[in-house]
Amino acid sequence: MPAYALRDDLPGAATGISPVEEPLIKALDVNVFYGEKQALNGICLDIPVNQVTSLIGPSGCGKTTFLRCLNRMNDLIDICRVEGQITIGGKNIYDPDVDVVALRGQVGMVFQKPNPFPKSIFENVAYGPRINGLAQSKAELNDIVEHSLAQAGLLDEVHDRLDAPGTSLSGGQQQRLCIARAIAVVPKVILMDEPCSALDPIATARIEELIDELRQSYTIIIVTHSMQQAARVSQRTAFFYLGILVENGPTEMIFTAPQDERTESYITGRIG
C-alpha cells in the first residue's frame, strides 16, 4: 500500500461531487527558489474539483513552475527548493511520508510536446496499469487500455492498429495517446502544460473538446499562453505575473471585469 493516497471520502476522489464543494487542491504561501533566484512568491490558490483551471501570464511568470509543484516534478531539479504547503484531498503532498511515485500516478501530467514511449499504442497505455498492478488479467488490461483510449477520443481511430508504434500517429493523435496514458492509472488530477502549442488548429480544437469532456471525471489544471483557449476551456483562471499570483476567479470575470489593473493590461495586450 503506498504511503500516499487521496482519501476516497473527499470531493473529487469519487465519481460524484460532495454537496460541500471544498477545493480539491489548496496552495498556501508557496515559494519556489532556483538556487538564489525566487521564481514564485507566496502563492495562495484554491483549485475546485471537476473544473478546468487555466494558468495564464507572460513567459517566465511562474505558471509552469507552479504546475510542476502540484506533482513534485520540481524535485527533479537539484537547485529547486519549494516552501509552503500544497494539499490535495486534505493531504500535504510535501509531507515526508508521501510516496512521490504514487502521487504522480494520481496527479497525471501531459506535456507541451507529445512524448509517446517508443512502444506500440497498446503498450503506451498499458505500461502504467501494468507496473501499478491495476489489472489482474490480460482481459482486464485490455479493458483498461480500450476504456482509456475511448476516454481520450482515440479508440475509434486506432482500434485496428493497437500494435502500431505510438510515434506513427499524427501530432494531435500522439497528444491524445499521452492523455490516454495519463488517465489509464486512474488519476484524480490532470496537469496540462501548453498541451496544444505544437498542434495545428484542427487538432487543437479536438483536444479542447476532450478537455471539456474529461472535466466530468477529473480536475484539470492547464497552462496556456492563449487567452482565447483559456476563455474557451476553463471555468476558473489564475493570472501570474513576475512570480506573483495577481488575481484568480471565474474565467468570465477575469476576462470581462478584472479587479487588478495588471490583469487588465495583460488581457488587453498592453503587457506580456
Exposure string for 206-236, b = 16+ CB within 10 A, e = fewer: bbbebbeebbebbbbbbbbebbebbbbbbbb
* Largest distance between two CA atoms of the chain: 57
User: What pLDDT does 11 receive?
Assistant: 40
Residue with cell 493570472: 239
- CATH code of domain 25-267: 3.40.50.300
The angle, 0 to 180 degrees and rounded to 10, between the axes of the packed helices 171-183 and 201-214 is: 20
Rounded CA separation 88/25 (Å): 5
Cα 253–Cα 28–Cα 188 angle in degrees, nearest 5: 75
What cell does 159 get? 482500434
What cell does 79 get? 537547485
Which segments in the chain show pLDDT lower than 50? 1-19
* Domain regions of the chain by residue span: 25-267
User: What pLDDT does 271 receive?
Assistant: 84
Rounded CA separation 96/13 (Å): 22
User: What pLDDT does 4 receive?
Assistant: 37
Rounded CA separation 193/89 (Å): 22
User: What pLDDT does 54 receive?
Assistant: 98
- In order of 5, 32, 199, 220, the CA distances from 170 in angstroms are 35, 36, 10, 24
Question: Are the C-beta atoms of 39 and 68 separated by less than 8 Å?
Answer: no
* DSSP-derived secondary structure letter, 99: -
